[in-house]
Structure 1
Amino acid sequence: MTTSISSVIKKLLLLFLIFAGLYFAKDFLMPLSIGGILATLFLPFSNWLEKNKLPRGLAAFICLLVLVVIFASLVSILTWKISELLNDVALIKEKTITTGTRMQEYIFNHLGISVEKQSQILKAEQPSLTNIMQSTLGSVSYIVTNLILILAYVFFLLYSRVHIKTFFLKLTVSAQIGEMEKVLRSATNVSQQYLVGLSKMIVCLWVMYGIGFSFLGVKNPVFFAVLCGMLEIVPFVGNITGTTLTVLIAALHGGEFSMLGGIVITYGIVQFIQGWVLEPLILGPQVKINPLFTIIALVLGDLVWGIPGIILAIPLTAILKIIFDHIEPLKPYGFLIGELETEKNETSFMKKIKNILKINV
């Protein structure tokens, strides 16, 4: 009994040390993880280029250029739409002032706090312009530095992937080399297929939100559709944030209650289609993690690495499950975070629907 308790304590201590290491090494591990997952996305393209007699270095560089073009295109679309939105800054400012005045009157009438006192409280809580500029410059510098690191990791991981694979095989005993190759192949495929599936789902969300917002008469429907779809990379929180921003901006533009209610209903319909149709068909086969551990992974990802941790939580947990499933002492943990029996039945049902509709995703 004492030995069993001691073993549990050691495992909990090891788990704590792992998460502590992930937290304190996030500046190193976070861009490396993002670069590694993005590199798997371009593996088929890189292999195709190399099969067509291109040197590996050139193939990796072309993949890097494609990634930069995709990223720049998305930023350009958002910037273009944001510039259109900024044309209404005067109107939004006027509406904000009017709303703020009404809120101050409401607080005075119901809480007895004078407008002057409210202004003093707000001024005391507002950060100084210097602090805002320092924070902004620090954030921009941090993002640019990590973006450069991610691009460098994508290139060098693609270029040296055979060398890295050989390293892992050299660490493995001869009898288990086949199993190690299977683990590496499965881990690469799951992150690659997750990103492809997520991209397909985001495009579907763009279309559905675009149709819904256009039908409701929302101003700049394409921008808000793209925004809500792009925020899907942050599970659960992203779509809610995008929809909330859409409702707020529509309200500031003088949208009627019917429009605001329609935006919320559109969000509900899209979420229903996403949860019951798109995810089982597109993401279900790739990410076999039960809902409980999906949420746990997201919470831990946020605690350890913040928003990037939330984005990386699902693919990294899926890779971890593959590793658990191929190591005998860790198989119970792979079973614990894997699909529930009800989910397996739902997956089989969705496969039948997929075969009937002849959807190739």
Structure 2
Amino acid sequence: MTKAQRYFMEIKDKRVAFIGTGVSHLELIKLFLSKGIRCVVCDKKTEDEFDELIYEELSAKGCEFSLGEHYLDIIFNCDIVFRTPGMYYNDETITKARKAGVAITSEMETFFDLCPCKIYGVTGSDGKTTTTTLISEMLKAEGKRVHIGGNIGKALLPIVETMSDSDVAVVELSSFQLISMRQSPNVAAITNITPNHLNVHGTMEEYIGAKANLIAHQNGYSRTVLNEDNEETIKLADLVRGKLVTFSLKHPVQTGTYLNDDGMLCYTEKGRTTEIVHKDDIRIPGIHNVANYLTAIAAVWGEVSIQSIVQVAKNFGGVEHRIEFVREIDGV
């Protein structure tokens, strides 16, 4: 019996609340309902405002609803609550429920508990979506079966039962997801840390603490990628329990990736440096994307061949809705 199968068997008599029906929850709710688990959707939208098709579909499957102003009151009568990343972990009602013995979790936390395969995790104030995608593309080019999710793409918990131990999961994690995480990925990369979301986190210290959760629970066999050019990120080096790999656009590093004076992206370790690809051969434009490649290469080094890395660099056209080539007019 897999961990996922055991989990669903153990909670089959529980009442589970889901806050919101966004990308990370809708398929998850359907999965739980298919397992015969009692589910409650909690949403501050009123019944008139709630999506009629979703309401009818979930109702037909036996789902309960708690909608409108007091939508969270019902969680005190539930055993487990899945909060959406948009629901602040230290919300007053969530905190009261947790203290009352209700299990507060999230799609990504539970996925980490149940995932049977290696996990690559990426966070940062900028560049995390592109870096996450690059890692997944490099692993795919190497022939791996890759599942990409988290703050990008789709929820992974609904498909965890279809995963095998030879697969790879690549997840982008925001500070809102990380703040309550008590597990870290096998390979963790932090692109950078700059002031962000302080209207929610309140202090820079809480924001940095959330980001640090990506690496705080790793073990001695883990790999951690940090940005040497970003002061707040490299300060986290003391938290690293496994192998520390760094990257820099400005200077050579002891172990990791850097951009040399000739414009080559290099990997160096134990005094041996390998030139990988020239920055001008990277299809997506901008020095920030060179940094994203340095991060991704540092994360997959040893698992992905240079040939696969170069293939992605020359052919990957970028993440949708990011900087994309449209057309050339008069040489521009």
What range is the shorter-chain TM-score in?
A: under 0.3
What is the TM-score normalised by the length of structure 1?
Answer: 0.22
What is the TM-score normalised by the length of structure 2?
Answer: 0.24
Higher helix share: 1
- State which structure, 1 or 2, has the greater radius of gyration over its C-alpha atoms: 1
Higher strand share: 2
Structure possessing the higher relative contact order (Cα contacts under 8 Å, 6 or more residues apart): 1
